[in-house]
Amino acid sequence: MIAQIAPPRHVAIIMDGNRRWARERGLPAVEGHRRGIIALREVTRAASELGVEVVTVYGFSTENWRRDAKEIAFLFDLCVFFAKTELGELNRNNVRVRVIGDWEALPAGSRNALADLQRKTAANTGLVLNLAVNYSSRSELERAVRSIARDVAEGRLEPDAIDDALIAQRLYTAGVPDPDLLIRPGGEQRLSNFLLYQAAYTELIMSETYWPDFSREHFARAIEEYAQRQRRFGGS
C-alpha cells in the first residue's frame, strides 16, 4: 500500500520510451508496447490508491501514423487486447474509461473495442482513465475553434461571450479539471503536442526511466515531488 499524501486531482502521462526499451534489450518494438500495458495497469492501481481523480495517458498520437505499418497494426491490435484483458481489472478497481481524440477514425476492430470498454466501465465511480488515442492537441484546438466559429456565424453565440471557460467546454477534456501534474518517462523534455491548452499551469516531471519500467513506486515518488512544489498559477 502506498502512503497517503495530498494527491493532485488530475495526472497526465506521456507514455514514452517503449521502443527504446525494446531496442536496448534486442527485442522487437512491439514487446516494448506490450510491456507498456503492464506499466499502465500498475500506475492506474497506484493512482486509485492515492486518491487521484483523473489520469490521462497519451496512447497514440496523430504523428504516430508515420511509423512502420506493422508497428501501427500492432498498436491497433493492442487497443483490442487492452480493452478485452483489462476490463475485469478496471471494473474491480472502479475505474471509468474515456477515450479522447479522433479515435473513431481507427480501424473498426479497435474502434469497437474502445467503444465497448467505455460502455462497460461507464457506471464506475472511481478514477477516470482518459486514453488519448489518435490525439493531437493542435487538432483539438482547431476543432474547438471551428465549433465556436460556427456558433458565432449562425447567431447562437456573441463573440464577446468567448472566454477561457467556453473554450474548455469545446475540448475533448470538457468537464475534467486541467492536469495538475504531467509526467513524462523516457528522458525527453517536451510536450509532444499533448494537452497544450490544458497544461498551461501544469507541474512537469520528466523521468529518465522508460515507460515499460515505470512502476507504481516511480509514480508515487512523482506524486511526492509534486506535493513539495508551490503552485502560483502565474502569480508571485
Question: Which residues are the active-site residues?
Answer: 16, 64
Q: Which helix (H) or strand (E) holds 132?
A: strand 128-135
Distance CA 65, CA 206 (A): 25
User: What is the SS3 assignment for 56?
Assistant: strand
Q: Which helix (H) or strand (E) holds 203?
A: strand 203-206
Cβ within 8 Å of residue 174, ≥6 positions away: 168
CA distance between the termini of the chain: 37
Nine-digit cell string for 132: 488519448
